[in-house]
Structure 1
């Protein structure tokens, strides 16, 4: 009687990982421009999402499909604050990636799937940190803070991250000090939809050029170096040389933190600025505008 061998747990895990990569590979594309290479994935028919930081300058790109065919694409919108870039490409017929919105847990196994020359480019590792929503250094709202312990190759940035179920959980990007971060599915869906509709993400605008200064016993203020005409600051009566010492009753901690708080939700809100003008305390009510397009 012949002996039947059952596959080992390692073989089962290896086969499952390879099957998960094969299932998503057609929807993950290699992207190249004059200045950079990255990966991306089909978000909706004719629309591809990738890392904004991975393709920071060019407005046109070429996508290499699974199998090697090349098709042209154009940037439809970019949001540096969340690292999401949307490409328009009518030549892409691969099925869109289907996201799993469930949260990742620390210690969960993940696969990052990019593409190179029409072939999958894969890295495996663990979720090293899983935390709540956070604000990026550029002021973008990220729905969960997830760091990945894996070795991501340069051309794989912008590729998809698969969770332990083999489902797409988000996009792999480089963070500060080359840490690998996940841009979660919820962030991608929200930002890509806004880019599809408007071509950009609205940001709050004060119409003021600010410089940090010391006031009182070491506290920080923001001196108004110039006032844009027309602009929200000018409409509120803010003048060059004014020093903002508090915002809605809260002391100014730093100028970068003040500006980072001007996310999409800030547009249209009213801020009460506590000012010092030639040594005299006063207040101004400023309605946050939308930052003009560059």
Structure 2
């Protein structure tokens, strides 16, 4: 080979070689950096993703369709409407649920009462490709728990869809939890946090002992599971505080299971009852009576199990069957879950002396309730009953008692809470649920979207503006 040919080949070889991109060189250097040996975190992350993959198939989306009637004329309509005119419209709400078991070819799903109440149609989305009609098995507004059923036919390996339920009585503040649900329709969204507090009461239900968590939940999460790090459902996500950040509340699974078992077996919840009005032992009361914990009796109902057993106003109940009673909620939950006909032994402090009182627990009387204030209007999320003659005499007022307020509903947003007594609507006195309903209908027939309520809360009266739509 001549010197010229050798030079030509060398030149062509240089021209044929392309320089590597700068970015490739930079990223090559980044890969050469030593990796962080976070074995514990990697294992935690792996287990967390496996946990979510295991639990997620049990979480469903619930679509509830309600029929509401609305006026086509708003406040800006230029002409007076001589007669009420409303047109029916369908309203679709969304929530979550968790499959807790099977019977035959049916899945049983645990969810919130406020997700399914008053639904004309109910559909459940089991997965991306399966959506079916569902039926309500039973609802309980007092704890905001409901059970629905849906066909499991054609579902591959249906047993794998059933969630494992834990023991909420063993929970501790600080434990890690995961919330799974459908916030704003974003299916099977997973959020992570800790248990912030236990046995919380926020004044939206008649029976409350919420698990408080900072795992973010939003509208649409209602009815979905709160899960521990073992993949066990330990709560049913129920409520948020609109004015709070990172505050979610779940019904403990043990309470939800107790309610669900009765709804499945009986179609309703049978509660224990002894017939007393009780209040917490406040520091001032404790200083006066020398008892720090328990529930003090403020009233004994006539012909009630409590009266027959000899309980008296001023008695402080400090234990049930040897188990200490810390406060009103503690006693309330224990008696509620006692089977009617069961005899319990109450440890009572009366004028400084300790007594053992045997009480045969009765069944809580049915209350006259309405889950919506008006048969014609939209759902206010309000449960009411008439005051009894005894209550009217004791309180010195006539009105209707608020026994339940649906979380996030119109009544809740307006500020009404269980225990409130509604005395008047638009300055017209009321004395029954029928009076209340008629007043609401009258307001709606004239195109009003709000009414002014006079409410007794505790020992004080206050005005509340109730939004009707």
Distance 1:69 1:188, change over 3 A: same
Give 1 or 2 for the bigger CA radius of gyration.
2
Q: Distance in 1 between matches of 2:108 and 2:150?
A: 6
Q: Which of 110, 118, 126 in structure 2 is aligned with 1:57?
A: 118
CA distance in 2, matches of 1:25, 1:206: 42
The 2-side partners of 1:135 and 1:268 are apart by: 31
Structure 2 unaligned residues grouped into runs of 5+ = 1-31, 66-91, 278-296, 317-327, 344-359, 369-469
Q: CA deviation at 1:32?
A: 0.9
How far did residue 39 of structure 1 move?
A: 0.4
Asked whether the 8 Å contact 2:339–2:361 carries over to 1, the reply is: no
Residue 265 of structure 1: how far off its partner (Å)? 3.5
1:162 and 2:227 correspond = yes
Higher alpha-carbon deviation: 45-54 or 8-17: 8-17
Q: For the Cα contact (< 8 Å) 1:107–1:126, is it kept in 2?
A: yes
The answer for the alignment partner of 1:13 in structure 2 is 44
Between structures 1 and 2, the one with greater helix share: 2
Change (3 A) 1:135 1:180: closer
Q: Are residue 30 (structure 1) and residue 96 (structure 2) matched?
A: no
Question: Any idea what SS the aligned residue of 2:138 has?
Answer: strand
User: Which among 160, 165, 173 is matched to residue 99 of structure 1?
Assistant: 165
Return closer, same or farther for 1:57/1:96 CA change in 2, 3 Å cut-off: same
RMSD: 4.3
Task: Output the TM-score relative to the length of structure 1.
Answer: 0.66
Q: Find the aligned partners of 2:298 and 2:253 in 1 and give their Cα distance.
A: 38
State the secondary structure of the residue aligned to 2:45.
Answer: helix
- Relative to total residues, which structure has the larger strand share, 1 or 2? 1
1:159-238 superposed matches below 5 A: 159-174=224-239, 179-203=247-271, 236=303
The alpha-carbon deviation at position 3 of structure 1 amounts to 10
* Cα distance change on mapping 1:287 and 1:106 into 2, 3 Å: closer
Q: Which structure exhibits the higher relative contact order, with contacts defined as CA atoms closer than 8 Å and separated by 6 or more residues?
A: 1
Tell me how far 1:96 sits from its aligned partner.
1.2
Aligned residues: 248
- Structure 1: give runs of 5+ residues left out of the alignment: 211-219, 225-232, 238-243, 271-285
C-alpha change, 1:97 and 1:70, in structure 2 (3 Å) is: same
Partner of 2:191: 123
